[in-house]
Copies of this chain bind each other. A is one copy, B any other.
Amino acid sequence: MRQRLKDVAERAGVSVKTVSNVVNGYVHVRPDTRARVEKAIAELNYRPNLSARHLRKGRTGVIALAVPELDIPYFAELARYVVTAAAAYGWTVLIDQTGGRREQERVVASGITDHLIDGLIFSPLALTAEDLAGLDGTPMVLLGERVEHGPADRVVIDNVTAAREITDHLIQLGHRRIAAIGSQRTDEGASARLRLAGYADALRAAGLDYDETLVAPASAWHRADGAAAMQGLLTSGVRPDAVFCFNDTLALGALRVLHEAGLRVPEDVAVVGFDDIEDGRFSIPTLSTVAPDKARIAQLAVELLANRLDGDRAAPAKELSAPYRLELRESTQTP
């Protein structure tokens, strides 16, 4: 059976509250009493009941991270960093998968994990600012640009500038017919919109035309979608000499199709991605990409949450920006 404070108290011959004081490190406990209690705790293998503690204190020590899909490497890597960053605050992280579906995201946001968690780090795909309005509950930190002007703290990276820079890298290398893969019609694609904007900026700055036939949509951003989009570009007859994929998994799918078509990367077609997932460091060829500082994103998100929890919950929403850098590898440069 599970042991309670009461069991420990009886065994140590003290009151329940004294045991509680020992467990919580309260100062005014005589050394010998403390020792007796600690002995009893050890003998009974006592563990506090977090639900009861939470009920009393209003804190669980658990935060949630909600992402669209765990088997998208970017989110898996991010999850790892969040878990690490949260550990510094003694927090456990509960990970939620929304599938990117608005309904599920709404449920998460409005607190399916009701009262079980102290706060939420949330990477929404489909959620709107309205869904978030009127939410009074759990403190929340948003990742990415999906919800602008929302009521919650945010951590972002400068997608437009990053996309411009990586596109510019392709231009510097002499590429002129640069395709883009990953645009999205729906208004769900906030990242897609910003990266497309950066891409267009770079072309304009270099005096290149923005050619719609070179822009391939991708409803989701998996390898298979990248493969399909690349296939579409090739069969439609437009012949890009470079491709900017809006994330790395799209790029890996594109690499695969280029390989099957007998085109060499980077000699015939250069390819860049976005996210810097581990796969891209070992793919053939290795993948040039925009590398957001995921550790920093996670750390900032956790810090924002910590401040919100300890500080003023009504303070105006803050927005922090995390750095990124370009990782230039074989897919744009011969070794």
Which A residues fall within an 8 A CB radius of B?
1-2, 47-52, 54-55, 60, 62, 69-71, 73, 76-77, 79-80, 83, 92-97, 110-116, 136-137, 222-224, 227, 252-253, 255-256, 259, 278-279, 281-284
- Residues in B neighbouring A227, C-beta threshold 8 A: 282
* Copies, count: 2
- Residues in B neighbouring A116, C-beta threshold 8 A: 50-51, 60, 62, 92, 116
Assess A92 versus B96: contact at CB under 8 Å? Given A55-B55, A70-B76, A284-B255.
Answer: yes
Q: Are B60 and A71 in contact (CB under 8 A)?
A: no
Pick from B1, B71, B94, B259: contact of A278, CB under 8 Å: B71
Q: Are B73 and A71 in contact (CB under 8 A)?
A: yes
- Could you show 6 A-B contacts with beta carbons less than 8 Å apart? A47-B111, A48-B115, A69-B80, A70-B80, A92-B94, A284-B284
CA distance A113 to B111 in the complex (A): 20
CA distance A54 to B60 in the complex (A): 13
Q: Are B114 and A47 in contact (CB under 8 A)?
A: yes
Q: Which residue of B lies closest to A77 (CB)?
A: B71
Q: Which residue of B lies closest to A227 (CB)?
A: B282
Pick from B73, B94, B253: contact of A73, CB under 8 Å: B73
Q: Are B71 and A76 in contact (CB under 8 A)?
A: yes
CA distance A252 to B281 in the complex (A): 11
Q: Are B252 and A282 in contact (CB under 8 A)?
A: yes
Q: Are A55 and B47 in contact (CB under 8 A)?
A: no
User: Taking the nearest CB of chain B, how far is it from the CB of A277, in angstroms?
Assistant: 9
Q: Are B282 and A114 in contact (CB under 8 A)?
A: no
Assess A51 versus B55: contact at CB under 8 Å? Given A76-B71, A223-B281, A256-B282.
Answer: yes
Q: Which residue of B lies closest to A224 (CB)?
A: B282
User: Taking the nearest CB of chain B, how far is it from the CB of A49, in angstroms?
Assistant: 4
Assess A278 versus B223: contact at CB under 8 Å? Given A112-B92, A259-B284.
Answer: yes
CA distance A79 to B75 in the complex (A): 13
CA distance A60 to B95 in the complex (A): 16
- Residues in B neighbouring A55, C-beta threshold 8 A: 49, 51-52, 55
Pick from B1, B49, B51, B83: contact of A97, CB under 8 Å: B83
Q: Are A114 and B49 in contact (CB under 8 A)?
A: yes
Q: Are B114 and A48 in contact (CB under 8 A)?
A: yes
Pick from B54, B111, B282: contact of A51, CB under 8 Å: B54
Q: Are A80 and B73 in contact (CB under 8 A)?
A: no
